[in-house]
Structure 1
Amino acid sequence: MRPPPAILSPGVQVLGYTVERQLGQGGFGTVYLARNAGQPFALKLLHLPRVGERAEREVSILLKLRHPNVVGLQGYGLWPPGEPRFAVIVMEYVDGRRLDVWADEENPTARQVAHGVLDVARALATTHAAGVLHRDVKEANVMVRASDGLAKLLDFGIGDYTGARGLTADILPPGTPEYRAPEAWRYFRQHARVPGARYVAGTPDDLWALGIVLYWLLTGRKPFDGASDTEFIEAVITQTPSPPCEVNERVPRALSDVCLRLLEKTPEARTPSALAVVAELEEVLRGADAAWDVPLCDAFGEDTATTESEQDSFEKWRNRPRHRPRRGMRAPLEASPLPAGATTTPETTVKPRRSLRAWAVVMTILALITVGVLLLRQEVAPTDKSPQSERAAVPSGPEATAAAVALPATLQEVAATVTTQTPETPFLPLSSKPVRKVRSVMTRAAGAAACTALMACPGSQVRPPPPPEPCPVGAVKAMTDRGIEMGDKYIAAFDFTGARIMSVSEGPAQFLLAEDVGDLPGGTAVSGRLIVRDRVYGRLTWATTKQGDSFPVCLEVYEEGGSRGRGMLREPGDDSPSSARVFTTVRVKAVREFE
């Protein structure tokens, strides 16, 4: 079961932002259009019991990135106050369409596609230079701005960076299988039964995924397919895709070659960096001629509506990969002339009868299209219980409050990606392949091997303190600017209802400052995560004042009145490795890095 997303009504206030409408929904939360001081923002609400550290990781990543082609971070906090159920990430609002929707509706030219992919390559170049991997590059995670066609990379929820802790215990990191590189699948095959084996993704994985995106934009179909998961993986590892310029003669050869270099089977042969992709695309665009300004796919017209014979339509559908797909706005169907004696009502229109055989063909095709659309709307769930091992998702946490009503969990596992809604489902070319789950026998074997390894482990062990990690970018400067002295300790508490012992779990947490700290008034919320070991460690990375001002911080949690150093003493009554009983009052220390 998936966790309940937040369902907010227009006018609801969230951390000082006024909600206007929902923009999209994914497996971990919901995105809303909201305004603050008249300016639009995108509010991403993530269900805390489900996301764990993912929200903080996404914020940490976005703090490292400042680029026109990367969606910008505006703020972060926990909501509702007092009993937070959601992490709230405030991002710049991109008024536009997802890349796949844009391509299907606009029927872009080779020049437009090259510029769009160039924008994404620039975003990846900045991302990789900051030591960050996106790990989920795909059309659904790129927005094309309506005002100028600028493409922006978004959703770093399963991204990774140097020094970050692993999010899952699976052999492959979170991601969408259809975009995984051959080296990832090769590693999976070779280590599926090796306990503790972990594939470490690198920049070549992001570049491969960019190649998959470019191939689809140019041809309207994905470069690899298979009747089963095993066949699909085998195709990715061994088959050389047909050059885009041969699949679609409107694709310039120079752009086709850029795409194929991104889809080389080994990282060594692949385009070496996102910066090199930028240079290649800029070079081919300088030599572009008038052929680059022809729409890549056929447009819909009057001749594509209902003029083909029943047999011709079926044969063209069955052999669709041989034909260039159609994109763009579909021409409206004109009303059929009424036969003699036919009448109309406000509800229905009587149309000429068709043969039963023709009706059966139409219904079959419509059913297949519906199934395809439904499959395309599902995305792989990069959750802590990964689809690689087909382990069932645990039930979600408590229902949302009245301000955030729980929605019934009716869908299968879906992605961490929060997808953008469109008024209507866009037309999807029949040659586009559905996103596959890739849950094979090898996958289940890997899960079984991991379970075997876990059961073979000895009993309760003392878990070491968490390893050092850097502060969020800009945290030290933000604290210094507000008069917070490095090394000073300040009193804070989980809440102000009175000192007591309470239960806490590993994951996101929030404290309230019990005193004025520099320029910060008492009551300022500082949020981050708890790490349960022999003691409970707290690393706080974001502050939000009562006035809504928010900024990064670097505060280490210490026991109130204790002398044992970092972390809170575990009180008797809970020996769980992921939860503990602690005292509600603590001290927080301003640091330059987490020890």
Structure 2
Amino acid sequence: MSATLLNLPPGSLIDGWQVAKALGDGGFACVFLGEKNGRHRAIKVAQHRESSGDFKQTHARTLRELTALLMLDHPNIVRPQGYGLAESGNLYLALDYVDGWTLAEWAERKHPTVREVLGVFEKLAGALAYMHGRGILHRDLKLSNVLIRQSDGEPVIIDFSCATYTLAEDLTGGGLPPGTDRYRAPEQFKFLREHKDERRARYAFQVADEIFAIGVMLHELLTDPRPTELRPRFDLNNPALPPPPPRRVNARVPAGLSDLVESILARDPKKRPVDTEALRRELAELRADPSSDYDEPGHPPSEQRHGGPSCPEALAMPSIPQSRQRHGARVERERDRGRWHGLLASLFALLIAVLLWRFAGGLVEPRVPEGLRHPAISHSAPPEPAPPAMPTPSPAPVTAPGPSIAAAPKEGSALKPLSPEVPPQGRPPRMPKKAIAAVECASLSLVAALAAGCPGAQIRPESFTCPAGAEEAMDEQLHWKRGENFALQYDDSQKGFASVWFTAGAEVVGVVPKGINDDRQETVAPPGTRFYGKAYYLSDKMGRADAPALVVRYDRVKLPGQADYPICVVVEMDALAFKDGKVQAYNMGVGTRVHRWP
């Protein structure tokens, strides 16, 4: 199927999207640049993996990716703009397209200073902290899965094909989760060795694994002037040979940054930063260092690639490195060259032994090809109407780093096993029409966020605990009483005291308007106080006895002249209408402090 999809000529249609060109291909999807109604999107078409044995996993994996994306809303994380069925019968996701480079290409073409590199990784760590707070793990962080937008230099994390979230089903068949071996933490391979005879043993991916992958990315950018080239590299997760400190390989790396990278790549996960927010703070502290060392390019431009594509169209695809023609990069500055070659020889011998052992063990998930990438989002583009968003689950507790065994979950899904028709030679297998219809509505209704087009899929947002620290902030800093009500305008971007439309699943910013004649509220939530949250739709068949309602959950507040505080405030207002994923209601009322989301 992938070969046929990649050979789609410009002008071909994918569910009404006109293909401009292919953008990439990988183990889970093919990605195209598509155009419809004047809008450009990256169209990511699910690709059947031969190793899975059936089409059910193809759709289940895409549904899981879409669910994870719908639970996230962050400027440095790719956002979906729609979904549908391709003519082949496979699901596709529409993602905002942006002109830019992969992180590796950016480093080669822009010659960033060390401080600029730190700025990018600080934002990545912040996005990961946001993601982890919602119980979502990316599990395939690498240089090709981060894009740098050309227009403003903002990094965007892409490709959630391997992502997982709280209560998500495990779709892998091996001991390790899907991912790219070079970026795996060493404890994953240790787990595999220790449990090689246990067929149902599954490694529990941790935040510490994500942190290690960030360390690999940072180490590569700091020590390799041409990271896009395909050539032998030091294996940073080798348990027998710890990676060399970045400063030992590249004298331009400041000592403080070199020490941080060493701690991120520590063999003991307990010696790494405790979480991604702690990592973000350490990166921010280094970026603020006044030393001139941080304002030097990480590598002399003469050592990096020259030229390359300059127009946005050419930069949308990763460059094809001509690595075999250029092997002679200077790898080390301060070490004896002979010792370095000896280490590499030992590494290759060990690698061959490990490969032979793993081939015999048969527990490893097939490697995810490096070629898969798709463009990230451009927030300036007008969004398409989005289906109501998946309710945010309770943040998964950050357990102690390290492996654990989990019983293999039952592979189940409402997607019925498909029996593809026998296709003509050279054409991809197609699902029967009845199966396509089932995928289009009944199967997608498993994902609450896919409400548009499937009646009954707009389920009530599940209950979950308030943000961490909300109770303390409301009691100690804000002095709000339990059950206290606040008069506010629900969406400051629309007219107050009027009937307006709210997009289900969209972020809203409420505000306390002027003219509130309440001495108590004037004290604890005065005019100008801003509430940040998300809107939902609750029908009369979802536990509400009297009428459908607009529900808004606010999880953050900012009083005039004060810092932000986590909160737990809910609004429930009678809905006047619901259409195309939007709910109509009056844009004024009260919000109530609660101790748990209803």
- TM-score category by the smaller chain? 0.5 to 0.7
Q: 1:447 aligned to 2:362?
A: yes
SS in 2 for 1:43: strand
Greater CA deviation, 426-435 or 181-190?
426-435
2:80 aligned to which of 50, 61, 73: 73
2: CA distance between counterparts of 1:147 and 1:263?
Answer: 32
Give yes or no for contact 2:2–2:25 (8 Å, CA) kept in 1: no
Deviations 1:544-564 (A, max 9, x none): 55xxx9997459xxxxxxxxx
CA gap 1:448/1:249 in 2 versus in 1, 3 angstroms: closer
1:90-489 mapped onto 2 (5 Å cutoff): 90-220=94-224, 236-300=238-302, 326-329=303-306, 421-422=317-318, 425=321, 440-447=355-362, 474-475=389-390
Give yes or no for contact 1:69–1:150 (8 Å, CA) kept in 2: yes
- Cα drift, residue 475 of structure 1: 4.9
SS in 2 for 1:89: strand
2:441 maps to: 526
Gaps of 5+ in 2: 49-54, 309-314, 332-343, 366-386, 393-415, 418-429, 461-539, 544-598
SS in 2 for 1:440: helix
Deviations 1:77-106 (A, max 9, x none): 1122xxx52211011112101111111222
- Cα drift, residue 429 of structure 1: 6.9
1: CA distance between counterparts of 2:318 and 2:174?
Answer: 34
- Cα drift, residue 165 of structure 1: 1.0
- Cα drift, residue 199 of structure 1: 0.9
2: CA distance between counterparts of 1:448 and 1:328?
Answer: 39
1: CA distance between counterparts of 2:189 and 2:226?
Answer: 17
CA gap 1:177/1:102 in 2 versus in 1, 3 angstroms: same
| Counterpart AA for 1:58 | E
1:58 aligned to which of 42, 54, 65: 65
Q: What TM-score results when the alignment is normalised by the length of structure 2?
A: 0.54
- Cα drift, residue 6 of structure 1: 4.6
2:450 maps to: 542
2: CA distance between counterparts of 1:33 and 1:16?
Answer: 13
How many residues are aligned here? 373
CA gap 1:330/1:421 in 2 versus in 1, 3 angstroms: closer
| Counterpart AA for 1:162 | T
Give yes or no for contact 1:78–1:527 (8 Å, CA) kept in 2: no
Q: Identity over the aligned pairs, expressed in percent?
A: 31
CA gap 1:203/1:473 in 2 versus in 1, 3 angstroms: farther
Tell me how large the CA RMSD over aligned residues is.
4.4
Give yes or no for contact 2:86–2:92 (8 Å, CA) kept in 1: yes
2:427 maps to: none
2: CA distance between counterparts of 1:219 and 1:228?
Answer: 14
| Dislocated runs of 4+, deviation >6 Å | 426-429, 432-439, 549-552, 589-592
2: CA distance between counterparts of 1:298 and 1:228?
Answer: 22
Give yes or no for contact 2:176–2:363 (8 Å, CA) kept in 1: no
SS in 2 for 1:174: coil
2: CA distance between counterparts of 1:426 and 1:37?
Answer: 38
1:410 maps to: none
| Counterpart AA for 1:296 | G
CA gap 1:448/1:112 in 2 versus in 1, 3 angstroms: closer
Deviations 1:278-304 (A, max 9, x none): 11111111114332222121223xxxx
SS in 2 for 1:511: helix
Q: 1:25 aligned to 2:29?
A: no
CA gap 1:209/1:429 in 2 versus in 1, 3 angstroms: farther
- Cα drift, residue 5 of structure 1: 3.1
Give yes or no for contact 2:102–2:145 (8 Å, CA) kept in 1: yes
CA gap 1:245/1:202 in 2 versus in 1, 3 angstroms: same
Give yes or no for contact 2:184–2:213 (8 Å, CA) kept in 1: yes
1: CA distance between counterparts of 2:7 and 2:456?
Answer: 27
Gaps of 5+ in 1: 301-325, 332-418, 451-471, 478-492, 495-503, 514-524, 531-537, 556-588
CA gap 1:260/1:161 in 2 versus in 1, 3 angstroms: same
| Counterpart AA for 2:190 | R
1:46 maps to: 46
CA gap 1:91/1:437 in 2 versus in 1, 3 angstroms: farther
Q: What TM-score results when the alignment is normalised by the length of structure 1?
A: 0.55
Give yes or no for contact 2:222–2:298 (8 Å, CA) kept in 1: yes
Give yes or no for contact 2:70–2:390 (8 Å, CA) kept in 1: no
- Cα drift, residue 539 of structure 1: 6.7
- Cα drift, residue 204 of structure 1: 0.5
1: CA distance between counterparts of 2:122 and 2:221?
Answer: 13
1: CA distance between counterparts of 2:275 and 2:32?
Answer: 34
Give yes or no for contact 1:475–1:554 (8 Å, CA) kept in 2: no
2: CA distance between counterparts of 1:164 and 1:440?
Answer: 30
- Cα drift, residue 63 of structure 1: 0.6
